[in-house]
Amino acid sequence: MLIAANNNFLIPNGTFIVVLIAFILVLGFIGRSVVPYLNNLLTERQEQIRGELEAADRAKADAEEADAQRRAALEEARAHAREIVAQATLTAERTVTQAEGRAQEAADRIMQAADAEVAIARQAAVEEVTARVGEIVLAAAERVVGREIRAADHQDLIDEAIAAVRAETTSGAAAGAAGGRR
C-alpha cells in the first residue's frame, strides 16, 4: 500500500470544510431560487387550468342557454306559423264560401234574366205567329180552293187553328224551359 497511516482514506481532512461550504451554497441556491420558483410556476399553472376549466364551464352553460333560447324561439315561430296557416286556411275557406255564394247568386240571377228574356221572346214570336197564321191559312186555302174565301165566313176554323198553334208552342216552351234549368 502506498497510503501512509496518516493518509487513510477513511479519515476526513480539510476537504471536508470546503465541500461542506460548496454543498451549503448549492443548497441555498436550490432553496431560494429553484424550489419557490417551481412552486410558483405550479401554482400559477393550477390557477390557469382552473380558470380555463371555469371559462369552459361558463362557455358551455352559455351555449346551452343560447341553444335553449334558440329552441324556444324556433318553437314560438313554429306555433306562430301554424296559427298563421290556420288563419289563412280559415280566411280562404270563408272567401271560397263567400265567392261560391256570390257566384251562385250571380248565376241564378243570370239564369232568371235569361229565362225571362226567353219567355218574352217566345211570347213575342207566338204573338207574331198568331197574328200572321190566319192570313197564311187563308192564302193557302184560297190557292187550294181556287177562290176567295172570306175570313168572317170561316172565323171558327181560323180560331181553331190558332188555338192549335198556341197550344203547341206553349207545350214546346214549357219543355224547353224545363230542359234549360236542368
Partner 1 sequence: MIGLGSHLLSAPLLASDISVGEHPQAKVLGLTVNVDIVWATIIAGLVVVALGMLLRSRATSGVPSKFQLLWELVVGAVQKQVDESIGPRGAKVVPLALTLFVFIFTCNLFVVLGIGSRFEFLPAPTSDINLPLAMALYVFVLTNAAAIRNRGVGGYVAHYLKQPFSPKLFPINLFMNGIEEIIKPLTLTLRLFGNLFAGGLMLSLLAALVIWRLGPVPVGGVLAIPLTIVWKLFDMAIGAIQAFIFALLTILYFDTAMAPEEAH
SS3 149: coil
According to the binding rule CB under 8 A, does residue 48 interact with partner 1? Answer: yes
CB of 9 to partner 1, least distance (A): 3
According to the binding rule CB under 8 A, does residue 51 interact with partner 1? Answer: no
According to the binding rule CB under 8 A, does residue 37 interact with partner 1? Answer: yes
What is the C-alpha separation between 47 and 41, in angstroms, rounded? 10
Angle among Cα 97, 99, 102 to the nearest 5 degrees reads: 110
Q: Select the span of 41-49, 79-87, 107-115, 134-142 touching partner 1 (CB under 8 A).
A: 41-49
Q: Select the span of 27-35, 67-75, 115-123, 146-154 touching partner 1 (CB under 8 A).
A: 27-35
By C-alpha distance, which of 141, 140, 139, 129 is closest to 166? 129
According to the binding rule CB under 8 A, does residue 50 interact with partner 1? Answer: no
Interface size with partner 1, residues (CB under 8 A): 35
Nearer to partner 1, 43 or 171 (CB): 43
Q: How many CB atoms lie within 10 A of CB 78?
A: 10
Angle among Cα 4, 7, 12 to the nearest 5 degrees reads: 160
According to the binding rule CB under 8 A, does residue 55 interact with partner 1? Answer: no
Q: Select the span of 33-41, 114-122, 134-142, 143-151 touching partner 1 (CB under 8 A).
A: 33-41
Query: 4-23: which residues touch partner 1 (CB under 8 A)?
Result: 9-20, 22-23
Question: Which residues have CB under 8 Å from 177's CB, separation 6+?
Answer: 115, 118, 119
The sign of the CA dihedral 99, 100, 102, 106 is positive
CB of 56 to partner 1, least distance (A): 17
- Cell triple for 64: 346551452
Residues that bind partner 1 (CB under 8 A): 1-3, 9-20, 22-27, 29-31, 33-35, 37-39, 41-42, 44-45, 48
